[in-house]
Structure formats: structure tokens, C-alpha cells
Amino acid sequence: MTRIDATFAKLRKDGKKAFVSYIMAGDPDYDTSLAVMKGLPGAGVDIIELGVPFTDPMADGETIQLAGQRALEGGMTLSKTLQMVRDFRAGDNDTPIVLMGYYNPIYSRGVDKFLADTQEAGIDGLIVVDLPPEEDDELCIPAQKAGLNFIRLATPTTDDKRLPKVLQNTSGFVYYVSITGITGAAAAQAADVAPEVARIKAQTDIPVIVGFGIRTPETSREIAGVADGCVVGSAIVSELAKGKGVDQVLSFVKTLADGAHSA
């Protein structure tokens, strides 16, 4: 059982929904992003998604793209991202961490070395948005053999014919993208999300977490109410982009987490 599996088991036992937060490693700088990361569990975050900055983030909107650019300009790399995880793990061995990004930096490092390094650093799961199920032998299967969850995205365009393929080797949770488009593009609507979540849950026992388009505690509560939890990324990254301090960012995160946990 991974930390992700254990977290969902505890949440189910407590009758609570999950709150997942995304931050970009190294944005606006290493020390600030590490300080935010260390504060997320205390702000109510159940699972941390840590973005690996990349030059061509095709699934991301302007907010996350700019965060990645700031991180890259500050010298952030995959190696430094893993070091950030090690620094976090020095004080927290319980909170699950999902590394989210694109395949190119992993390919450049070499899959075997990458998986060994992520295990050593304390990563629990991977979301690699540009590797479809047809490429599962490339990374998904080796990652699962190494004890990592491989989390797949399902979208409004994932029809009933495609869905079983998407779910085939997914573990940890299914990340349902609430809108058609890029991150930060539109507001999520619980009425639209609910039937899609039900459709996915009819085919899997894995928790379904909904992301994209969640910016307020109210939306966080509404979306978590029709799923197993929700993810917020762009709204949190936006607070950092505005120059908000660590405590201010964490206070904002807590309002979102409280929303999800009240569902």
C-alpha cells in the first residue's frame, strides 16, 4: 500500500473527501516553494502534486506556464525538484507526493535512473500528461513495478470506448479533468462533473479526483461533493505570482481545503 492508498483509506474511514494541491517546484524560487510545500499539510492538504518545470507544457494554461518559466529561469531542474522532495521528507514522512509533468525530462534522465531516484527521494506517484496508455511499457508498467502509483487523466472527451484503456493500468486515483481545455481556463461545474464521475466510478474502484477550474472554497466543496475529492493548482500558483507571502498563500490554501473537507 502506497502513501496515496493509505491516505484515501483513512479519508474513507473518517468520511472525508480529499483535497489535493498543486504547486510548481521552484516557483518563484527554491526556498519559497519549499516553504509553501512544507506548510501544505498543516493547511489541510491531503496529497501534494509537485510540478516539474518544463519548457513546453502543452496541457497547461498561462498561469502554470509562467510559473514553469519562472522556475526554469531560477535554475530549477528535475534534480533540484527531487532534492526539494528530500528536504520536505526530512520533516514529513506521511504526506503523499505526486510528481506531475512531461516525459521529456524523464526520458533524458533514463527511466531506470529516474525511478530509482524518485523512490529514494520519497515520491509516491506520477502524472505524466503526454504519455498515453499505448505507451504504458515505456514508464507506467516499470513505475508500478517499482511501487509507484501511476495516475492517469480522464477528460470530458474520454468516451466509453476509450475509458477502459485509460483505466487499465491506473492506480492511486483517477484525475478527472473537469473542463475541455487547458488548466485555469474555465470554472468547473458540479452539475457537469457529477455524471462523468459516476460514469468513471462504474468502471473502477479507484478514487476519482476532479481538477481544473476550481478557484474558490465554494467550488471546492461542490466538486468534492460529487467526487472523492478535488485538486486546485492554478488558483494557488496565482497567489504566488501576485507576490503573496508564504503565510498568505497557505491561508488561502486552507480555505480551499476546508471547502473540500466540508463536502
Write out the catalytic residue numbers: 49, 60
Of 137, 135, 163, 139, nearest to 149 (Cα)?
A: 139
CA within 13 Å, CB half, 221: 9
Segment 157-166 long-range contacts (CB within 8 Å, at least 24 positions apart)? 160/199, 163/199, 163/200, 163/203, 164/203, 165/133, 166/133
Cβ-based neighbour number of residue 227 at 10 Å: 29
Q: What phi-psi label fits residue 213: left (phi over 0), alpha (psi between -120 and 50 degrees) or beta?
A: left
- Confirm if 167 and 204 have CB atoms less than 8 A apart: yes
